[in-house]
Amino acid sequence: MKRRKFIQNASLSTFGIAVGTSVFASETKTSISEVSNPKSGTSGFPMVIATWNVNSSTAEAWRVLQEGNSALDAIEKGCMVEEANAEGQSVGIGGLPDRDGNVTLDACIMDSKGNYGAVVYLQHIMHPISVARKVMEDTPHVILAGKGAEQFAISEGFKPIDLLTEASKKAWEEWKKTSQYKPIINIENHDTIGMLAIDKNGDISGGCTTSGLAYKIAGRVGDSPIIGSGLFIDNEIGGATATGLGEEVLKTVGSFLIVELMRQGKTPQQACEEAIGRIIKKNPDYKDFQVGYIAVNKKGETGWYSIHDGFWVTKYQNDKNENFHSDFYDKK
């Protein structure tokens, strides 16, 4: 818990909520930049970029790409690394539960052909990203929810497990003593994992996986599994994905907006900044919550931006697996 950095800690109306409450998954940083605003960033592919400091995940995705596999394979394998990390309390096993003590997971995946699959409110399954891929590839549907999603996963061979670790149970029991919602708007290193990849053929895919807001009301679903909000890919243009307070991303359909802005000629950086600007313009409470975006265009040029300080990005490109401290809007 010592790595936690509470950027702000103010009440967020009735539902002041912990955003990105997680323990940092210990990662080896290969290189760290200062606060970065990659206006003239590097380009090229294959490449992979992800929200937060998730070097092990990007390394796995890169390995899959280097073997000549598709961006879709790289996304699934890369996201699985974080989902299996029990120390990360915002994704997969070990995720912080809802207010009733249930760990519920949301995830989606999108390929270069515009296919999309998602699971929402999935319980007891370690790898929602893989179930989302099965929804996309093996069913005529795009989203499966709750018990139905769990039954589908089990029918596809996924083993049901208890996702609530001792550490997350302890944190929940501690929270229950006051049941007080507080938005912990930014833990330095981690929240939802959104990942975008381009393979050697120049085809783009993306994925997004999360346990959502800690101590949320049972049944709450965030932006991460929703096409256009937590993730959007258009193989002619590029892709974008989000982390942070899902409600705000949903209301502005953030990832679709970023891809459409790139279609109109904006760089990935300009598009991310404009999407953050839309949230700020519409919401005077922006000081109480965090949102971060990452984006990539068809050339492999990237951008990232957040409302507040504390957002990090990992990019594996041109043989380098690097962490970047994102530039942000709220300079006080």
For ligand GLY, the closer CB: 183 or 222: 222
Contact predicate 83/93, CB 8 Å: yes
Q: What is the DSSP letter of 159?
A: P
Summarize as ranges the residues that interact with ligand GLY (CB under 6 A).
192, 210, 212-213, 222-224, 243-246
For ligand GLY, the closer CB: 83 or 322: 83
Q: What are the backbone angles phi and psi of residue 51, rounded to the nearest 5°?
A: -70, 140
Distance, CA of 47 to CA of 217 (rounded, Å):
37
No. of H helices and E strands in the chain?
8, 13
Tell me the residue type at 305.
Y
Minimum CB distance to ligand GLY, residue 45 (Å)? 26
Minimum CB distance to ligand GLY, residue 248 (Å)? 9
For ligand GLY, the closer CB: 192 or 317: 192
Minimum CB distance to ligand GLY, residue 185 (Å)? 12
Distance, CA of 214 to CA of 327 (rounded, Å):
26
Minimum CB distance to ligand GLY, residue 200 (Å)? 30
Identify whether 58 is a catalytic site residue: no
What is the distance between the terminal CA atoms of the chain, rounded to a whole angstrom? 26
CA distances from 320 to 20, 82, 240, 293 (A): 27, 20, 21, 21
Question: Which residue in the list 192, 209, 252, 302 is annotated as catalytic?
Answer: 192
For ligand GLY, the closer CB: 41 or 206: 206
Q: CA Rg, the chain, in Å?
A: 18
- Residues involved in catalysis: 192
